[in-house]
Amino acid sequence: MQAARSRLCMFQGSTVNSQILSSSRFLRSASATVRTEQQALEMLITQLDQRFDAACELLLKCKGRVVITGMGKSGHIGRKMAATFASTGTPSFFMHPGEAAHGDLGMLVPNDVLIAISNSGQSDEIMRLMPVVQRYQIPLITISRSHHGSLPQLATVALTLGEAAEACPLGLAPTSSTTATLVLGDALAVALLETRGFTKDDFALSHPAGALGRRLLTRVQDLMHQGDDLPVVFADTLVKDAIVEMSSKCLGMTAVIDQHHQLIGIFTDGDLRRSLAHPESMLMPVSEWMTPRPVVTCADTQAVDALATMKSAQINHLLVLDPQGLLIGAVNTHDFLAAGVT
């Protein structure tokens, strides 16, 4: 029995040591991979020259769409590149070269620009498309390891990644080359959006769904309470009646206007609590207890900016005025939370 326990302890100890050694090997491999791909990016920087400028000019002048093609792993990178272009102001889509040779090449029309990704510069599937590309005189930007290869020789602009080593120890699986291609695509997209003066409002138009879209597209007019839902009283309204107006509209406040319907103040829950310390306040005009000159905003203000104003002023309510200065609505913090604007 004792011998069995000893053998079990030895086995467990051996297993732990094996795990430690394996973990150490994993970490060494990971570090080597990251360093190799970092070196590929450093080499990519040395490849950025007037050809990059020429490619950007070509893309900026494009009156059609930027069509991206690539086979295998290059195709996966091409899909991401097209998505980044499309979401940052450059109309773009991915075209699979194999499908293109069987009819999808009709996606490519005059006024488009074609970006062809092939690390070797020799992709057979892409080369089959070249006669049609040349016939339609479609500008061609290639991305490859070097200038060698048939594709770069046909290019309007031939961008190169540099001949960096792949992180794969076999030198076969695309690793460093796909990382460099991805970064080069991002570099093109960012250069174009900066040149175009692409703004966060432009970005929001292509991202209407989810939290990002809500933050960037929602405006105060989409959230504000208005019409019969807007609590409002005149300056000479008694506090007890102002409380009734607040309670019926459930916003925790009421706007206060003068006889000309101009906004002069706001009466909030805080003002109410302050007035309750004075029993006689119930029969006094609300103008005696309101907060004068309240913080206001416009209906077309972005909701995220309006919320920032409220946070800065440390208030829970914001009144909305039209261009003539007349009261048209109100929002509170709950409205922003309900809309997912935080």
pLDDT, mean over the chain: 89
* Domain boundary assignment for the chain: 27-198, 220-338
- For residue 22, pLDDT over 80 is answered with no
- For residue 16, pLDDT over 60 is answered with no
What local confidence, expressed as pLDDT, does residue 18 receive? 57
Instruction: Provide the token pair at 113.
Output: 């620009």
Q: Does domain 220-338 have CATH number 3.10.580.10?
A: yes
What local confidence, expressed as pLDDT, does residue 21 receive? 54
Average pLDDT in the 92-114 region?
93
State the pTM of this model: 0.69
- CATH number belonging to domain 27-198: 3.40.50.10490
> What gap in Å lies between CA 66 and CA 321, rounded to an integer?
44
- For residue 79, pLDDT over 90 is answered with yes
Query: How would you class 103 by CB atoms within 10 Å of its CB: exposed for 0-12, middle for 13-18, buried for 19 or more?
Result: exposed
Residues contacting residue 311 through CB under 8 Å, at least 6 positions apart:
none
* pLDDT-based confidence at residue 199 (cuts at 50, 70, 90): confident
What local confidence, expressed as pLDDT, does residue 13 receive? 55
Pairing of strands 327-332, 317-321: antiparallel
pLDDT tens column, 26-63: 888 999 999 999 999 999 999 999 999 999 999 999 99
pLDDT tens column, 230-263: 999 999 999 999 999 999 998 999 999 998 889 9
